Amino acid sequence: MRRHGTPLLAVSRSALRAQWDRFREAFPRVEPFYAVKANPNPAVLKLLAAAGASFDAASLAEIDAVLDAGAPASRIIFANTIKPSAAISGAAARGVDLMTFDSEYELDKIAAHAPGTRVIVRIKVPNVGSAIELSLKFGVEPADAIDLLIKAHKMDLRPVGVSFHVGSQCTRAENYVDALEMAAIILRDAHLKRLPIDIVDIGGGFPIPHFDREHDPFDDTVAVISQEIDRLFDANVRLIAEPGRFVVGPAGTLVMRVVGKAIRENKHWYYLDDGVYGALSGLMFDHAKYQYKALRDGNTQLSTLAGPTCDSLDIIARGEQLPELELGDIVYVPNIGAYSVATGTNFNGLPPAKVVTVP
């Protein structure tokens, strides 16, 4: 902190690698493609590229970041189902030939700007109980998937698979069960129609703990998903996934400093040098729930934490049990490596948290 100042997002290299290895061990049949959007920091991408990771990119800029990190284009899936035409042609020019789609209009664009590309249809699946319901915006009805795959084949594209996403921070294993069964039905129907579909992309959504460190929700879903995979898909089916939060979330700790203090509503208010417009943006955009800790001992009292901007929206948390803090004291947040600096801004001209890697 003396060297880098605050706010600071410290990403543990050992924790990042441990999460990556944990996913691989939990799902030996599934090839993970790290979701770059979770944290596109170059150091994070380089570490994962060196570990042999594949990558889920959602834009041309993310594709370039992955290539700069040393991963080949063959290990990238362009997994945004709505892509600008220039991004499609740009990805193809860089050697990326695996893309997702969920509409006829997207197929038209891919066929026009990246002929011969391998394509995966994304279907709409239940997102019940997930923190963010991605099915509200993405995915075709499962009943329409085969027709779109046939159309892709007729357009001289190469339909190769089906994908889904059960929603972010999914703690309901039934979502995966339902989605995997839908994907299996589509796969069997495609084979009957002689479509060479051999990829099932099970997306992301794998949860991490925020407040409750004694209970890890990931463990509850592993056995169920693995059992369904083995039941539904033979060894010739290639299974891939797009974990982001699960890989980088537990590896990140945000360090902030108290820059202001007041008594309001009969409570201590502490103003920190980062907030909801910065690395705590997950409070707004990601429905995240964080744990706030202080590097000071003492009796705790109900306190409010606020960010440094002039906007009254920038209130981080109310009713936190904290010891009385002084100007310059440290408040830190664990499990914040994902969707934090990635969605932060420079509102009010305040610089974002600096990202550094630590052992």
Bridge partners (DSSP) of residue 293 are 332
- The pLDDT of 25-31, averaged and rounded, is 94
Q: Residue 310 catalytic?
A: yes
Nearest to 202 by CA among 20, 326, 27, 10: 27
Cα–Cα distance measured from residue 201 to residue 277, given in angstroms and rounded to the nearest whole number: 33
CATH class of 13-248: alpha beta
Mean pLDDT of the chain: 91
Helix residue spans in the chain (DSSP H): 13-26, 42-50, 60-68, 85-93, 104-113, 145-154, 173-192, 218-232, 245-248, 282-285
Residue 174 has pLDDT above 90, yes or no: no
Helix (DSSP H) and strand (DSSP E) numbers for the chain: 10, 16
Closest among 254, 258, 281 to 337, alpha carbons compared: 254
The total number of residues shown for the chain amounts to 359
Residue reference for tokens 């041309």: 60
Q: What percent of the chain has pLDDT over 90?
A: 80
Domain 250-358: top CATH class: mainly beta
Distance CA 187, CA 44 (A): 34
Asked if residues 193 and 172 have their Cβ atoms less than 8 Å apart, the reply is no
Token duo for residue 28: 């030996």
Rounded CA-CA distance 124/137 in Å is: 9
Domain locations along the chain: 13-248, 250-358
Residues 109-114: what's their mean pLDDT?
A: 98
Cis-peptide, bond into residue 351, ω within 30° of zero: no
Average pLDDT over residues 132-139: 59
What was the pLDDT predicted at 288? 83
User: How many C-beta neighbours within 10 Å does residue 203 have?
Assistant: 27
CA 110 to chain centre: 24
> Cα-flanking dihedrals φ and ψ of residue 347, to 5°?
-55, 140
According to the model, what pLDDT value does residue 234 have? 94
pLDDT at 137: 63
The residue from 236, 310, 349, 359 that is catalytic is 310
Q: What spatial distance separates the first Cα and last Cα of the chain, rounded to whole Å?
A: 15
| Mean pLDDT calculated for residue range 112-138 | 75
313-335 average pLDDT score: 96
Can you tell me whether residue 259 is helix, strand or coil?
strand
- pLDDT for residue 2 is more than 90: no
pLDDT in tens, 57-73: 999 999 999 999 999 99
Query: What was the pLDDT predicted at 223?
Result: 85
pLDDT (0 to 100) of residue 1? 60
Predicted pLDDT of residue 37: 96
